[in-house]
């Protein structure tokens, strides 16, 4: 019968392990579905780049469906679910709800921005970070399309790196049983103690299993009953003769077999302990008995406990009971959870104990002992079980820990050991990952650096269309993220497909993949992180290269004059639109007392020029300048630029040279806003 119980215990553990693995597989497939959704969009932009929204949506949906079917074929998670289509439906619902939420929030944000700009002029009419990144992303995808061979080789490298990581890497659960000496333990009996580390309730199924294995005579369970359930405001009234009353905090349900463990009979002042588990009675501390008008001459007197009358069978010395400890070195009285939480909150730093946390217990003066079954009938919770087996306690405790994943304390009569189950994840074959990661860093980094060298001239063009240095660096990071996302997905699909072929016996041998979520997420995430790391340096170089024509435009302020061409290109048919928009914005700043500058005396000559007087912030410095903006044709680029000419009128020249930069920067912001409105 004991062997049968042990078999059931291990069967339950195997079930929990299998359930955990299946749940991990389903988490892994959801991860790849979340990768597949943006990958479908990227593939549509790279392969087709449809202009019509209907064609674009149809292509994205088709690519996603094809990817889902591939996963359905090669991934074993779909074999473990009764209805694989539910996975697709659930994911589509999540994706659509997320998309609708994003669209609504984006629309609301745009409306609020327009309302803000229409009600209060704000000079910072720049595109948001999300819009800037979206533009950078589009440019990055376009660069991939323009260089198909280089892009294909770079993408193939990422695919192979991801496949290599999946093949070599394995994040497997590492489960072991620890056996450490409990420094505060007291070997008061030869046996083992079952309890939770936080003194949480145990299941009655555990007690039944222990009874099946060792019998009733070798088991002593302890139940705690609080009137409020948790022990925070527990008050239990006891009544005796002449309606005398006292109050205790908790009732403790114990059994006759407790005398084989902590020996509570040694604390008796009068009376006796339970002789059998069927004995009915109550044991009180001397303090509680005195408050009820009871002494050793009143043994057998009826005491009303929570609506039931029980005979008084014993009186205990509270101090002696408090000195009786279990294997964990703590009292068998209930824990004072209120005081324990207060003490933990007062600690300056939280330090994890070497074994288990030491808890503060109530005094036995405030508790009453009742039969185990009586406390159970009231709704008491099982908190600890003392077991005194004939077999080796340490080996038995280890066996129960392996079966139940609970914590046990075992004593051989000389020392107390804490037996606990430790579960953690272990990364295997980390040494073999060095060369694939190094290779991917060199190949991808070299490819992006070569792309950066080819596009030095393009960087200045990106500025002309309104991209800042930060957005240009994002362009390279966006391009790298495309490689990372697609390479991570296709590398995983390649590994799953080859593993499927090996299972079917189609020409592949010796391959070993771990399908669990931990391994898949770590391998794919490591591959994507490696690619992004390889693209970080080229992005930084692009940022440094673009700063020359970036936020701080180099200005020559010789003798209080400026004559420069703004990095802004437009075609001949846009001349009228540009000058009209510029005039409108300049006029809106007439008479302003806030912002980088204020204007007056605005004069325009159609498409030819715009003249105005501007006062520079801070206005109390009295800095004013006359300005003229006119188109200038660039024959090299076959486009128009704007020429800015400014002359200092009043104020200190040194101060003006410092404050004129915000003025020029604000003019560039106005031109960038025109680009945005034209695009919209």
Average pLDDT across each block of 10 residues of the chain; the chain has 680 residues. List them in order.
66 74 82 89 88 87 91 86 74 78 79 62 49 68 82 85 77 69 91 92 89 87 92 89 87 94 93 85 94 90 91 94 94 92 72 69 95 93 93 89 85 90 59 67 69 62 62 78 90 89 80 76 83 78 61 65 82 84 88 84 78 89 90 81 89 86 84 69
Cα-Cα-Cα-Cα torsion 127, 128, 129, 134, nearest 10 degrees, comes to -70
The per-residue pLDDT for 125 is 46
CB atoms within 10 A of CB 558: 8
The per-residue pLDDT for 144 is 83
Q: For the chain, which domains are there?
A: 2-81+126-169+429-549 (no CATH), 179-426 (no CATH), 558-679 (3.30.310.50)
The per-residue pLDDT for 442 is 75
Compute the distance between CA of residue 83 and CA of residue 72 in angstroms, rounded to an integer: 12
Compute the distance between CA of residue 680 and CA of residue 675 in angstroms, rounded to an integer: 9
**Geometric angle at alpha carbon 159, from 156 and 160, rounded to 5°:** 90
Cα-Cα-Cα-Cα torsion 458, 463, 467, 468, nearest 10 degrees, comes to 110
Start-to-end CA span in the chain (Å): 79
The per-residue pLDDT for 454 is 62
Compute the distance between CA of residue 405 and CA of residue 478 in angstroms, rounded to an integer: 46
The per-residue pLDDT for 430 is 55
Compute the distance between CA of residue 299 and CA of residue 272 in angstroms, rounded to an integer: 10
The per-residue pLDDT for 466 is 54
Report which of 197, 178, 181 is spatially closest to residue 415, judged by C-alpha positions. 181
The per-residue pLDDT for 276 is 81
Decide if 75 contacts 29 (C-beta within 8 A): yes
Q: What angle do helix axes 53-74 and 469-504 make, rounded to 10 degrees?
A: 40
Residue 374 CA: distances (Å) to CA of 256, 282, 304, 356, 371: 13, 10, 13, 30, 5
Compute the distance between CA of residue 524 and CA of residue 499 in angstroms, rounded to an integer: 16
Exposed, middle or buried by CB within 10 Å (0-12, 13-18, 19+), for 313? buried
Decide if 141 contacts 133 (C-beta within 8 A): no
Report which of 158, 292, 110 is spatially closest to residue 680, judged by C-alpha positions. 110
Q: Is 467 helix (H, G, I), strand (E, B) or coil?
A: coil
The per-residue pLDDT for 129 is 54
The CB-side HSE value for 357 (13 A sphere, CA atoms) comes to 17
The model's pTM is: 0.59
Name the residue with tokens 């240009």: 472
Residue 127 CA: distances (Å) to CA of 207, 360, 582, 661, 680: 66, 60, 18, 21, 12
CB atoms within 10 A of CB 17: 12
What's the order of all strands across the beta sheet hosting 624-634? Answer: 561-570, 639-650, 624-634, 610-616, 597-604
Q: Cis omega before residue 618 (within 30°)?
A: yes
């Amino acid at each position: 019968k004991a062997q049968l119980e042990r078999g059931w215990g291990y069967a339950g553990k195997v079930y929990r392990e299998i359930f955990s693995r299946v749940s991990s597989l389903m988490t892994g497939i959801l991860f790849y579905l979340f990768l597949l959704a943006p990958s479908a969009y990227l593939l549509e932009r790279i392969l087709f780049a449809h202009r019509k929204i209907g064609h674009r949506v149809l292509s994205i949906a088709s690519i996603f469906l094809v990817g889902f079917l591939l996963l359905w074929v090669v991934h074993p998670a779909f074999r473990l679910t009764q209805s694989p289509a539910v996975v697709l439906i659930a994911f589509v619902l999540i994706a659509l709800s997320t998309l609708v939420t994003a669209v609504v929030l984006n629309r609301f944000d745009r409306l609020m921005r327009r309302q803000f700009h229409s009600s209060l002029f704000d000079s910072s009419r720049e595109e948001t970070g999300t819009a800037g990144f979206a533009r950078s992303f589009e440019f990055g995808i376009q660069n991939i399309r323009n260089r198909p061979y280089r892009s294909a080789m770079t993408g193939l490298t990422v695919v192979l790196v991801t496949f290599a990581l999946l093949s070599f890497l394995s994040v497997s659960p590492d489960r072991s049983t620890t056996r450490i000496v409990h420094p505060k333990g007291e070997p008061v009996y030869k046996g083992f103690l079952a309890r939770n580390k936080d003194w949480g309730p145990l299941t009655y199924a555990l007690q039944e299993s222990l009874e099946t294995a060792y019998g009733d005579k070798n088991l002593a369970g302890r139940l705690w009953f609080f009137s409020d359930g948790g022990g925070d405001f527990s008050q239990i009234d006891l009544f005796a003769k002449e309606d005398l009353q006292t109050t205790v905090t908790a009732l403790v349900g114990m059994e006759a077999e407790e005398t084989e463990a902590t020996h509570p009979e040694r604390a008796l002042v009068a009376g006796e302990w339970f002789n059998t588990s069927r004995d009915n009675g109550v044991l009180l501390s001397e303090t509680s008995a005195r408050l009820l008008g009871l002494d050793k001459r009143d043994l057998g007197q009826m005491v009303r406990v929570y609506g039931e009358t029980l005979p008084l069978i014993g009186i205990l010395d509270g101090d002696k009971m408090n000195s009786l400890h279990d294997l964990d070195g703590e009292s068998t009285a209930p824990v004072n959870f209120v005081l324990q939480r207060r003490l933990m909150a007062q600690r300056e730093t939280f330090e994890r104990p070497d074994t288990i946390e030491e808890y503060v217990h109530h005094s036995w003066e405030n508790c009453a002992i009742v039969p185990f079954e009586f406390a159970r009938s009231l709704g008491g919770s099982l908190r600890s079980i003392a077991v005194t087996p004939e077999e080796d306690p340490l080996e038995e405790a280890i066996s129960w820990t392996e079966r139940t994943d609970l914590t046990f304390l075992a004593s051989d009569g000389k020392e107390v050991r804490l037996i606990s189950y430790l579960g953690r994840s272990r990364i295997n074959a980390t040494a073999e990952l060095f060369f694939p990661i190094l290779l991917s860093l060199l190949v991808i980094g070299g490819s992006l650096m070569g792309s950066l060298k080819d596009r030095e001239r393009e960087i200045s063009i990106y500025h002309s269309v309104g991209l800042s240095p930060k957005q240009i660096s994002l362009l390279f990071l966006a391009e790298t993220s495309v490689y990372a996302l697609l390479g991570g997905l296709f590398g995983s699909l390649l590994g799953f497909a080859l593993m499927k072929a090996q299972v079917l016996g189609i020409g592949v041998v010796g391959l070993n993949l771990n399908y669990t979520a931990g391994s898949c997420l770590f391998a794919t995430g490591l591959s994507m992180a490696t690619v992004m790391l390889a693209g970080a340096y080229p992005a930084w170089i692009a940022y440094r290269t673009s700063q020359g024509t970036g936020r701080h435009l180099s200005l020559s302020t010789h003798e209080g004059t400026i004559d420069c061409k703004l990095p802004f290109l437009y075609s001949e048919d846009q001349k009228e639109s540009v000058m009209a928009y510029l005039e409108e914005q300049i006029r809106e700043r007439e008479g302003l007392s806030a912002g980088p500058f204020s204007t007056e005396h605005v004069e325009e000559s159609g498409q030819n020029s715009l003249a105005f007087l501007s006062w520079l912030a801070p206005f109390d410095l009295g800095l004013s300048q006359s300005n003229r903006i006119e188109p200038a044709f660039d024959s090299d680029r076959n486009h128009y630029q704007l020429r800015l000419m400014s002359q200092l009128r009043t104020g200190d020249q040194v101060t003006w040279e410092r404050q004129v930069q915000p003025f020029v920067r604000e003019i560039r912001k106005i031109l960038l806003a025109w680009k945005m409105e034209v695009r919209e």
